């Protein structure tokens, strides 16, 4: 079977994450694409202990990758705008498709790069450039393509959101939190790009183009950072029912497009206000769909690699199949379906909420808890309600347990003379990732 | 210029929404596709006053649309499984691409339909079948394709979520809220499909296939509805720090797939717990990206039409261009970019939060509010902080105003002898759709 050959330029955080995801999920990815994705060539000034590149050709000059005739797709992960621009244009000139996570490159040189790609009949994919692992460009450019987009508003810089969240939750000042963020590696030694809004403005430039069909116009974005926000402002905003978030906003007013990045008060009760720490979220309001929201990790090695590899898969699918069924109907190719068994409900496991009604007698509670314990069920919390007469309601929250064990326990509890046999049981999921 | 010819079978709520969105946004849609989308033929037993179909060919037999040689894409919006299956197979046999919003059809007959489509070299798109306007199938099958999916958990039935939300917020019982939902048209006269989890199970079947690459297996989904939940359960859950939501959960446990639809306690503080009323949201946990969330309207004429038309656009793009640049780099085709102006920051309008420090003297506040009023700025809320000595901080929240007017006012306020000229100003956005 032929494979799609990928060349990766840059082996920093995102580069090593991309190598790790491509290797770990190689089997599933091949089932989705229709053929394997092979890392044919890596260009990096030095190796990175975060990933194992044994057996892969490595060059110290990234241009060797762009000029490698074996490479189908060049993945640009070196960052910056000058060398990256030259590298990408070289690869395009050599007929290679491009995947990049570089927001500055696309926001500032995208118009030129797309023109070159069009001339050479190649594709350029850059989902990872905005909001890391959230597939927001695909949602905007494809999923919501039926809509006239009214506005896009997003928390699209994780560092800034981390600082604002810490200021609010710890009642601490900007300078103190920034220093801590730098110590933790969440903020750069020179934090200007994050803190003064440049990074968010690059991303907003790209979002606005896809939303409204306007050219990339980074120079027209109004930028204001978070460095002037005080803890007093955070508290006063809360008093009015608001939280302060650093938003990128692109809005079609009907007589022009607003493009602006600045601290913004938003109502406490909307979902965007619940986005904390380094997480990102983007709200999109379309004329048909109404408001929608997309939430996830906006940075980090593997979340960003998730988007980089999704773009590689998209290009790989285009190189693999005829234009019909480019994306297989169910994501995986029909002859690559898995026969993994579907579990019966007895074999699932989760926590349980139980509500039972018992007689107000000594020993009843002991009987119930002993049956639970006999069936390997431990109790997380229990509340006995007060009633004047009749049966006493008891509500129990259990730790995670196999449903078959719970069913066995409930059968025995219901059989007790002292317990009403109509027991309410609701499953509990904490949805921890 | 050639156009893509669409035939629409079914002119109910979603059918009329689809006609309206295709007509209203025809210009933008043509810019995204590369050529116009034309409604060539509608099949419906009767007209629908919710949309204007003047000039469009109409047949009373939907099979006339499936057999119309002019039609490139058949849009199946009649619902149900028997006639819909026959209609779709007929259209596929005639070489037409298919778009459908029919979750029952795909969940129960998808395997057969995809096989037929593959034989005839046509595409089948069904984004609208799950979670209405949220582009969740595209996110799962394309945007997160790099990931091994650990689990998917979603609020995917708006009627059920409306009932649970109303029970919680109004402290009312299930029967009372269901009757109200039926009166409002949110629930069917026979509410079984929504209330007993069948609708959610159809959608979960589709999500699980795309997540894990397993065949569609509706019959293996464990189903439990919300009809036994009492207000007592809702309150007890809250006491433990949880909310009760009706979730569809698909999980890869490592030794089998869990497929289950049931009421579930989830922690109050996670974003999924904040999804109220008829809104839908789906959480997806991937091994690379971590947890992500997608939120929006799960039903209704235009939100569902948003997804139907997105699928039409996707097929239209495939019919229009070579396989490279199938989706234009910026969503719109390069020669179709708009030159809509980008506004300067003076021309935007929003609310403002102002923090100023003033001398504790009679008349200062009057001066400030007069200047605001002179510049057409009205005050929504104002707080004067207490201080023992020195300048007094005042925090003001204004209604929406043009930024140029605000700048003018701030310049005059800063020039007052009684006001410190370092005024803090943060923009306010309520992000109402």
Q: Which of A336, A354, A383 is the last residue in one of the domains?
A: A336
Is B42 in the same domain as B127? yes
As a whole number, mean pLDDT of residues B266-279 equals: 93
Using the beta-carbon criterion (under 8 Å), do B339 and A222 form an inter-chain contact?
A: no
B15: tokens are 């059918």
Q: Is residue A193 part of a domain?
A: yes
Q: pLDDT (tens digit, 9 = 90+) per residue, B351-402?
A: 999 999 999 888 999 999 999 999 999 999 998 887 777 899 999 999 999 9
Considering only the C-alpha atoms of chain A, give the largest distance between any 2 of them, rounded to a whole number of Å. Answer: 85
pLDDT, mean over chain A: 92
Same domain? A42 vs A160: no
CATH (domain of A244): 3.30.360.10
**What does the pLDDT read at residue B354?**
94
- A2 inside 8 A of chain B by CB: no
What pLDDT is stored for residue A17 in this prediction? 97
pLDDT at A327: 65
Residues B163 and B209 in one domain: yes
As a whole number of angstroms, the distance between CA A95 and CA A67 comes to: 10
Q: What stretch of H or E contains A401?
A: strand A401-402
d(CA A195, CA A227): 7
**ipTM tops 0.85:** yes
The CATH number of whichever domain residue B52 belongs to comes to 3.40.50.720
CB contact under 8 A, B262 and A427: yes
For chain B, percent of residues with pLDDT exceeding 70: 97
Whether residue B118 is found in the same domain as residue B37:
yes
| Residue of higher predicted confidence among B337 and B52 | B52
What average pLDDT does this structure show over A159-187?
A: 92
Domain membership of residue B174 (yes or no) is: yes
pLDDT score recorded for residue B327: 65
Question: Within this chain, do residues B331 and B401 fall inside the same structural domain, yes or no?
Answer: no
- Mean pLDDT throughout B190-201? 93
Residue A406 within any structural domain of the chain: yes
Domain shared by B331 and B393, yes or no: no
User: Of A329, A332, A289, whose CA–CA distance to B315 is shortest?
Assistant: A329
What is the pLDDT at residue A342?
85
Average pLDDT for A328-333: 68
**Model pLDDT, residue A262:** 93
Residue of A nearest to B148 (CA): A25
Does residue A369 surpass a pLDDT of 60?
yes
Banded model confidence at residue A88, pLDDT cuts 50, 70, 90:
very high
Q: For the purposes of burial, counting CB atoms within 10 Å of the CB of A195, is it exposed (0-12), middle (13-18) or buried (19 or more)? A: buried
Q: Is residue B433 part of a domain?
A: no
**How far, in Å, are A202, A333, B117, B137, B396 from residue A329 at the CA level?**
34, 8, 10, 10, 54
Q: Specify if A26 maps to a domain.
A: yes
Q: How confident is the model at residue A292 (pLDDT cuts 50, 70, 90)?
A: very high
Q: Of B297, B328, B360, which closes a domain?
A: B297
pLDDT at A356: 93
- Look at residue B70 in the predicted model and tell me its pLDDT: 96
Q: For residue A318, is it within any domain?
A: yes
Q: Choosing among B4, B6, B429, B430, which should be mutated to test the A contact, i.e. which has the most A CBs within 10 A?
A: B429
Name the domain boundary from A243, A278, A299. Answer: A299
Answer yes or no: is pLDDT of A233 > 60: yes
Residue of B nearest to A23 (CA): B146
Residues A267 and A331 in one domain: no
Distance CA B203, CA B206 (A): 5
For an interface test with B, the pick among A287, A342, A348 (most B C-beta atoms closer than 10 Å) comes out as: A342
Q: Are A349 and A403 in contact (CB under 8 A)?
A: yes
Q: Is the predicted pLDDT of residue B1 greater than 70, yes or no? A: no
* Maximum pairwise Cα distance, chain B: 85
Burial of B336 (0-12, 13-18, 19+ CB in 10 A): middle
A433 found inside a domain: no
Are B122 and B174 within one domain?
no
B228 vs A130 pLDDT, higher one: A130
Which of B97, B45, B22 lies closest to B302 in space, CA to CA?
A: B22
Q: Is pLDDT above 60 for A72?
A: yes
Please indicate, yes or no, whether residues B123 and B54 belong to a single structural domain of this protein.
yes
pLDDT digits (tens, 9 = 90+) for B213-255: 998 999 999 999 999 899 989 998 998 899 999 999 999 988 8
Residue A427 and residue B217: Cβ atoms within 8 Å? no
More confident site: A358 or B387: A358
Please check whether residues B182 and B290 belong to one and the same domain. Answer: yes
- Mean pLDDT value across residues A219-233: 92
Q: Would you call B347 an interface residue with chain A, using a CB distance cutoff of 8 Å?
A: yes
B352, closest residue in chain A (CA to CA): A265
In a domain, A112, yes or no: yes
Q: Do A263 and B313 touch (CB under 8 A)?
A: no
Q: Where are the alpha helices (DSSP H) in A279-351?
A: 301-320
Show residues of chain B in contact with A124, CB under 8 Å. Answer: 329
Q: Identify which has the larger pLDDT, B327 or A132.
A: A132
pLDDT at B273: 93
- Judging contacts by C-beta atoms under 8 Å, the chain B residues touching residue A253 are 343, 348
Question: Treating both helix axes as pointing N-terminal to C-terminal, what angle do A13-24 and A26-33 enclose, rounded to 10 degrees?
Answer: 80
Q: Are A329 and A361 in the same domain?
A: no
| Contacts with B403 from chain A: Cβ below 8 Å | none
> Is B295 close to A293, i.e. CB distance below 8 A?
yes
| B23 catalytic residue (yes or no) | no
Per-residue pLDDT at A323 exceeds 60: no
Instruction: Categorise residue B254: left if φ over 0, alpha if ψ from -120 to 50, beta otherwise.
Output: left
Q: Stretch B322-346: mean pLDDT, rounded?
A: 72
B313/A118 CB distance under 8 A: no
Task: Verify that B231 and B263 share a domain, yes or no.
Answer: yes
Q: What is the domain-level CATH number for residue A407?
A: 3.30.70.260
Which of A251, A283, A248, A234 is closest to B349 using CA atoms? A251
Query: Of residues A150 and A342, which shows the higher confidence score?
Result: A150
State how many domains chain A has.
3
Q: Mean of the per-residue pLDDT values for chain B?
A: 92
> Is B188 marked as a binding-site residue?
yes
Q: Which residues contact A217 (CB under 8 A, 6 or more apart)?
A: A205, A208, A209, A259, B342
C-alpha triplet B74, B78, B83: angle, nearest 5°: 90
Q: Whole domain around residue A281: which residue ranges?
A: 136-299
């Amino acid at each position: 079977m032929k494979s799609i050959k990928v060349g990766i330029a840059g082996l920093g955080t995102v580069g090593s994450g991309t190598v790790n995801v491509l290797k770990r999920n190689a089997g599933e990815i091949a089932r989705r694409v229709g053929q394997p994705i092979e890392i044919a060539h890596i260009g990096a000034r030095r190796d990175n202990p975060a990933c194992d590149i044994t057996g892969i050709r490595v060059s110290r000059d990234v241009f060797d990758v762009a000029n490698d005739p074996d490479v189908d797709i060049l993945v640009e992960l070196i960052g910056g705008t000058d060398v990256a621009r030259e590298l990408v244009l070289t690869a395009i000139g050599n007929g290679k498709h491009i995947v990049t996570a570089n927001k500055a490159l696309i926001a500032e040189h995208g118009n030129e790069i797309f023109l070159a790609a069009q001339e050479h009949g190649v594709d350029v994919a850059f989902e990872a450039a905005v909001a890391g692992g959230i597939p927001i460009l695909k949602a905007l450019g494809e999923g919501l393509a039926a809509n006239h987009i009214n506005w896009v508003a997003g928390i699209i810089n994780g560092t800034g959101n981390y600082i604002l969240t810490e200021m609010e939750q710890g009642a601490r000042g900007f300078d103190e939190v920034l220093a801590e963020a730098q110590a933790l590696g969440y903020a750069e030694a020179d934090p200007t790009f994050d803190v003064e809004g440049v990074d968010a403005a690059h991303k907003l430039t790209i979002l606005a183009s896809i939303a409204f069909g306007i050219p990339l116009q980074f120079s027209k974005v109004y930028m204001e950072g978070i460095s002037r926000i005080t803890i007093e402002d955070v508290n006063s905003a809360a008093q009015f029912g608001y939280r302060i978030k650093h938003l990128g906003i692109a809005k079609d007013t009907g007589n022009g497009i607003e493009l602006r990045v600045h601290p913004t008060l938003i109502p406490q009760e909307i979902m965007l206000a619940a986005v904390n720490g380094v997480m990102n979220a983007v709200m999109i309001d379309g004329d048909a769909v109404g408001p929608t929201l997309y939430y996830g990790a906006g940075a980090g090695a593997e979340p960003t690699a998730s988007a980089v590899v999704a773009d590689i898969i998209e290009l790989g699918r285009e190189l693999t199949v005829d234009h019909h069924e480019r994306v297989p109907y169910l994501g995986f190719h029909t002859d690559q379906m898995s026969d993994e068994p579907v579990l019966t409900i007895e074999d699932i496991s989760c926590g349980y909420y139980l509500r039972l009604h018992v007689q107000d007698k000594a020993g009843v509670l002991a009987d119930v808890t002993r049956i639970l314990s006999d069936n390997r069920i431990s109790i997380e919390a229990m509340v006995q309600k007060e009633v004047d007469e009749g049966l006493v309601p008891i509500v129990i929250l259990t730790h995670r347990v196999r449903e078959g064990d719970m069913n066995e326990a409930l059968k025995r509890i219901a059989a007790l003379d002292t317990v009403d046999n109509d027991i309410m049981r609701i499953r509990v999921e904490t949805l921890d990732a």
